[in-house]
Amino acid sequence: MIGTTTNTVASVDTVNSNNVSNVQEKNQLTELYGRSHMGICGIGVYLAVSLVAFHFKEQSLAGILPSGLMGKLGAVPPVSLAVVLMWVSTVSALTVILGKLYFGSHPCGTTSHVAFRIGFFVLFFVTGGLGQYVNEIFISGLVVLTLQHYNVYNYYMQKIEKKFIILSGLHQEAL
């Protein structure tokens, strides 16, 4: 009788620890699933900013600010310099993302990619070349952010898959 009571208490403790473990595992899976969609959120933000930039494509900083203030700010950098910077940044970002995809390493932050791509809209607005290069800025950003989304999604889905394999193995052992 005493042995039965001890076994019952032990099995209740096991069930309680399994329930806590299951809740923690579900929370971890939910967090991983949420992280897998950060890339698509970045694309959404980028598309919204792109619409605003397209609306203001015929304007520039020099056209908005008074000439006296523009004189105090100094010369505006040439548009060609901004174009070179954009393409170097795009090739660099694609190289980094492809490297992380190839090696399966932790993806870099989507926020930084979105910020850089939005920064090019601002840079071209300042240089006065937004109207001329808005399509190139948009397409280069969309390519980078789409590949980034694929990288993030792929990485976290692999983690989720591994987690399911581990959980199913633990579940089989418990039975």
Q: Provide the pLDDT for residue 103.
A: 92
Q: Is the pLDDT of residue 122 over 70?
A: yes
Question: How confident is residue 9, by pLDDT bands cut at 50, 70 and 90?
Answer: very low
Q: Is the pLDDT of residue 128 over 50?
A: yes
Task: Give the three-class secondary structure for 13.
Answer: helix
Q: Structurally, how many domains does the chain consist of?
A: 1
Q: Is the pLDDT of residue 58 over 70?
A: yes
What pTM, to 2 d.p., does this model score?
0.78
Q: Provide the pLDDT for residue 8.
A: 41
Higher pLDDT, 129 or 16: 129
Domain, as residue range, for 139? 2-174
Alpha helix locations (H) across 65-129? 67-73, 79-103, 110-127
